[in-house]
Amino acid sequence: MTALNKDAAVAVIGAGAMGAGIAQVAAQAGHPVALFDTREGAAAQAIAGIAKQLGKRVDAGKLDAAERDAVVARLTPAARLEDLEGSALVVEAIVENLQIKRELFEKLEAICGDDCILASNTSSLSITSLAATLQRPERVAGLHFFNPAPVMALVEIVAGLASDKAVVDCLYATARAWGKKP
């Protein structure tokens, strides 16, 4: 099993508590991370919140200031979905609504390269159902973090019926490389 290379771009869609936490985890693991949210300014606000949280860890002597600065520098707000085009992995952490998630994945399939893994942080929707309307459902799998994502070790890797084993294995190895217990 091969994890994503640390230089591989990761995108997170949804800048709420889960999305911001997942973005922080990926950035702390060394990935450049684009954070997108449909709410104007939400991604930038989430990145500022991450910087503030990491600043508290610096103040407590649990994190080096240079490391905080490096993590924050790897986080970028994305203005449009099209800005996620070069991503190796896109994780959605949006509202738990099957139709809305399907529409998002359909848009991402048209934007992202064929080798991009599309992952959902869903805890309740079927990965098979989420991927059913796609041309390439084999590149979709579940990557379910627990809240708060930077703290909780467990990550569920969920295969749909069409999920490619290599995609699932990559997510498993990537979660381990990120210091999680898949």
State phi, psi for 154 to the nearest 5 degrees.
-75, 135
How is 116-161 classified by DSSP, letter by letter? Answer: -EEEE--SSS-HHHHHTTSS-GGGEEEEEEPSSTTT--BEEEEE-T
Coil vs helix vs strand at 70: helix
174 close to 4: Cβ distance less than 8 angstroms: yes
Q: Catalytic site residue 31?
A: no
Q: Please identify which of the residues 144, 157, 170, 180 carries the catalytic annotation.
A: 144
Amino acid letter for position 139: R
Rounded distance, CA 79 to CA 136, Å? 26
Segment (H or E) for 89: strand 89-92
Q: Using only the alpha carbons of the chain, give its radius of gyration.
A: 15
Active site residues: 144
